[in-house]
A and B are shown apart, each in its own frame.
Chain A
Amino acid sequence: MSEYIIEMNGIRKVFPGVIANDNITLQLKKGEIHALLGENGAGKSTLMGVLFGIYQAEAGEILKDGVPVRIHDPKDANKKGIGMVHQHFKLVEVFSVLDNIMLGAEETKRGVLQKKKAREKALKLSEKYKLQVDLDAVIEDISVGMQQRVEILKMLYRDNDILIFDEPTAVLTPQEIEELMLTMRNFAREGKSILFITHKLNEIKAVADRCTVLRKGKCVGTVDVKDSTVDSLAEMMVGRKVIFKVDKKPADPKDAILRVSNLSLTTEASGKHQLHNVSFNVRRGEIVSIAGIEGNGQSELVYTLTGLMKPTHGTITFGEQDITKCSIRERNDLGIAHIPEDRHRYGLVLDYNLAENMILKSYHTPQFKKYGFLRFPAIQEHAEKLIRFFDIRAGEGPDTPARSMSGGNQQKAIIAREVSLSPDLLIAVQPTRGLDVGAIEYIQKQLIAARDEGRAVLLVSLELEEVMNISDRILVMYEGKIVAEVDAEHAVRQELGLYMAGATPSDFVREVM
């Protein structure tokens, strides 16, 4: 009997143009929590994809209990006891919780579903592990936290004993994260083995026994967590010393450029409040952050500010002008720039080349348009200027198809375009998501530079680190409301976490007292 329940030896996986995994070795002991650490793009997900049967490795072998196995697809992985909670949940939104749990592992009698049996089994598991779910609720109606519990139940329902968690904490409040870690420790105590993919160092320190670090597709090494520090792990991950604190001068805020008062948004279909009486200001020369768990109205807030959605109530004032009823174009032209959260969906037209993308918001201005015709020389020149100034790497210069550019450079291009509009207000939504440390630092510096030039910056981010590092004021959103405003300099992580979970400052004071 091998010491390891899973061994991945010399795994190599190549995608056209990139070596995603190069000779990677990972050994998972029975009953341990093993962290897999690496930056975005380091190859963590690919490696787990290989283990879960989503990809086939070109070289290397997988051993289970010391015996070589081949894992052809996720079904195969399930049969071998491997389960996975994907970063983006794999749940059918219009199905009930129970249907989702049993999908793919149905109890049947001659092809006919035996829902009663499935219900009993699911109930038993949910009680045993204190994973509270409503089996009859439809997925789209339940919270993200409960959706994650459904995902965990899915693994348990299949009697998996090797559990992969892919970035499970990104969507949770600090308190929910604690709970999840408790659950994970419970599993480990029961003899289940856990692989925990993350790029957050403190979580590793909190819960993991050992940690394997990947960098640029290669394995840097495996360490015992208790023998290592956050700094040493960070250095292994990035390959150099990392400075966690961003350099910035104190803010020098001027007059308020954006004033939002009593903004509400109700969806027609469900009558649910997406936004509820939101009021706040953003001043020139400061960075205001909106913190909160995903799905608490941040996206809707940004959409109503930029004009992509119409609010049900309330007013938005920009400078001296009421822009509540203005079109997207009018807002853009007034000086609101927007770095969208989903760069492929909103930020870029991937089938246009870089030059065409750079004029996406300004093609209609005299600079690029004359008598209805586009001025191609000016467009080309504009793109070349931005490429140089913002250091965008694009193989064919302005003619590079946006689709062929890397994520980091796509994001740089969007930022270049938005900043080049010289906006009075820059709205940035999760501008660093999915990027490596170098790109993150660059983008954060750009935001601070914009602030120092006297622009107002509204940052929406799910990463508490980022919010606390670069903003001047922090607003916390919960269920469509702004529940707290905190001065960034005095912000405490735990306190923010409570607000994110719906506590209000008055609660907080009472609790402390």
Chain B
Amino acid sequence: MKRRRTFNTALMTTILSAVGAIIIGLVIGYLFLLITNPERAWWGVIRILTIGLSNPTKIAKVLYQAMPLICTGLSVAFAFRTGLFNIGATGQYTIGAFFALFTGIQLQLPWYLAIIAAMIGGAVWGAIPGICKALFNVNEVITTIMFNWIAVFAVNMAFTNLPMLVVDYWGKSSIRDRSPVLADANANAVLPKLGLDELLSSNLVNIGIFVAIIVAVIIWVLLQKTAFGYEIKACGYNRDASRYAGINAKRNIIYSMMIAGALAGLGGSLYYLSGTGQYTFVKVLLPAGFNGIPVALLANSHPIGVIVSALFISYIQVGGDALQPRFVRENIDIIIGVIIYVSAFALLLKIWFGKLFMRRSLSAYSLRDDDTSPPEHDQPDDANEKDGEKR
């Protein structure tokens, strides 16, 4: 009974702080719409919030865009649980896209092998920063940023040097700045649709969304139920203690970054194996990877929560597209940016909401019979002070 209550309390506060962040994001987004066009601002907000469910085609689009977001969100979330910040999801996503298309088009292999190839590619790309972190203690934030750019340039170079991976090879177009239409190059590599396309009258949906959701559930089981998940979380919470316990923290950092990379790579493969998008060779980072960060933050790095928050981010992005041409779609990015900004101090919000909605049991405090200091000093502050004992 008691266990359930603590569980619900934690869940409630997480959800409430996420909702709080979203509301603040929307209010600020609304202010920008007001500045641009006061008469249509309210229309804009309503459009952002309703268009995603307005018809089956839009629903299909929401699911389609949520699919890679779930994967990159899981990627960021999984690394977070190990105490790592994977800004490199976008690079791993790009590598995944390349490996999927290479396997599907160059090697003419079916979609499921393409997915596996993408995950391996992403895993390798994630492993390198992981190794740098584990063996040389190079900050993973910096390395993953570097590897994002290296991924984009390397992938562009690889595409342009493999004639089969450029659209003009397949004869229907003479442009050379993107990958071919997948159905032309290898119909077997396109993700099956299982009749979803007819159901939602859109060719955007396919089994990819189910793959993403199933993977999220697998990740949840892995984290919550297995000994490996126990190790990973111990590393994330307290790396020194995990080492003390005999957990190989270095190996787990590398594993964790490999899994994170594989997840992001999966995202890249699902998106491009849908057959509806072509990879264009431009020198910019793909936003699908970066948006994994707000997805993970909103979900408080919970794998099941990632599904929900990815659907939400996708939903308002579809809404944002529908703002054009009255408003520029970057208004949505402002909303998302604000959401991350607010989520960064979500802990504060959580405490705030916790106080507002829940009556905290005093038992936690009445136990501190021999600790006369304020509770926040009880946190491990080794980094601040060499010694965690003195308060």
User: Is there direct touching of A and B in the complex, by C-beta distance under 8 Å?
Assistant: yes
Residues of A participating in the B interface, judged by any CB pair closer than 8 Å: 15-18, 20, 40-43, 45-46, 87-88, 217, 306-308, 327-333, 338, 340, 342-352, 356, 360-361, 363-364, 368-369, 372-374, 393-397, 399, 401, 403-409, 433-436, 439
Residues B389 and A360 in contact, CB atoms below 8 Å apart: no
User: A46 and B372: CB pair below 8 A?
Assistant: yes
CB pair A346–B240 under 8 Å, yes or no, is: yes
Whether the Cβ atoms of B371 and A41 lie closer than 8 Å is yes
In whole angstroms, what is the CA distance A330 to B3 when docked? Answer: 34
Of the candidates B227, B242, B388, the one whose C-beta lies within 8 Å of that of A374 is B227
A349 and B370 alpha carbons, distance in the complex (Å): 20
> What is the minimal beta-carbon distance from B176 to any residue of chain A, in angstroms?
49
Contact partners of A340 in chain B: CB under 8 A: 244
Closest partner residue, chain A, to B247 (CB atom):
A329
Contacts of B373 in A (CB 8 A): 15, 20, 45-46
CB distance from B6 to the nearest CB of A (A): 6
A328:B246 contact, CB within 8 angstroms: yes
Contact across chains for A348 and B227 when beta carbons are under 8 A apart: no
Q: How far is the CA of A88 from the CA of B189 in the complex (A)?
A: 64
Q: How far is the CB of A71 from chain B (nearest CB, A)?
A: 19
* Interface residue ranges, B against A (CB under 8 Å): 2-3, 6, 225-228, 230-231, 233-234, 237-238, 240-248, 361-375, 378-380, 382, 385-391
User: A401 — which chain B residues lie within 8 A by C-beta?
Assistant: 364
Q: Which residues of A contact B372 (CB under 8 A)?
A: 15, 18, 20, 41-43, 46, 217
A342 partner, pick from B361, B367, B382, beta carbons under 8 A: B382
Q: Do A15 and B374 have beta carbons less than 8 Å apart?
A: yes
Decide: A40 and B227 in contact? CB cutoff 8 A: no
| Alpha-carbon separation in the docked complex, A435 to B369 (Å) | 11
What are 18 A-B residue pairs whose CB atoms fall within 8 Å in the complex?
A15-B375, A17-B368, A17-B375, A20-B372, A308-B243, A327-B246, A330-B246, A338-B244, A348-B241, A349-B241, A356-B230, A369-B227, A374-B226, A395-B367, A396-B2, A399-B6, A406-B371, A433-B389
Complex interface: chain A residues within 8 A of B245 (CB): 328, 332, 360-361
Task: List chain B residues, Cβ under 8 A from A439.
Answer: 370
The 10 closest A-B pairs by CB, nearest first: A17-B365, A329-B246, A395-B363, A404-B364, A344-B388, A344-B380, A20-B372, A41-B370, A346-B244, A15-B374
Q: Is the CB of B225 within 8 A of A374?
A: yes
Docked CA distance A345–B382 (Å): 7
A54 CB to closest chain B CB, in angstroms?
A: 11
With A17-B365, A350-B238, A350-B379 known, 15 other A-B pairs at CB within 8 A are A46-B373, A87-B390, A342-B388, A343-B389, A344-B382, A344-B389, A345-B240, A349-B242, A360-B245, A399-B2, A404-B364, A406-B369, A407-B370, A435-B370, A439-B370
Cα distance A403–B237 when bound, in Å? 12
Complexed CA–CA distance, A333 and B365 (Å): 36
Q: B380 to A345, Cβ gap below 8 A?
A: yes
Chain B, Cβ-Cβ closest to A17: B365
Chain B residues with Cβ below 8 Å from A393 are: 367, 369
Residues of chain A lying within 8 A (CB to CB) of residue B361: 395
Q: Is the CB of B374 within 8 A of A16?
A: yes
Neighbour of A17 across the interface among B238, B242, B362, B380, CB < 8 A: B362
* Residues A351 and B238 in contact, CB atoms below 8 Å apart: yes
Q: How far is the CB of B388 from chain A (nearest CB, A)?
A: 4
List of B residues within 8 angstroms of A332 by Cβ: 245-246
* A346-B241 in contact given A393-B367, A406-B369 (Cβ < 8 Å): yes
Complex formed: what's the CA distance from A188 to B274 in Å? Answer: 83
Partner of B237, one of A350, A372, A405: A350
Contact between chains at B367 and A406 (CB < 8 Å) = yes
| A55 (CB) vs chain B CBs: closest residue | B374
Most buried by A among B225, B371, B378, B390: B371
Q: Are B374 and A360 in contact (CB under 8 A)?
A: no
Question: Distance in Å from the Cβ of B230 to the closest Cβ of chain A?
Answer: 6
Known contacts A395-B367, A399-B6: A351-B237 contact under CB 8 Å: yes
Bound-state Cα–Cα, A16 to B383, Å: 24
- Determine whether the beta carbon of B3 is less than 8 Å from that of A434: no
Nearest to A348 among chain B residues (CB) is B241
Chain A residues with Cβ below 8 Å from B378 are 403
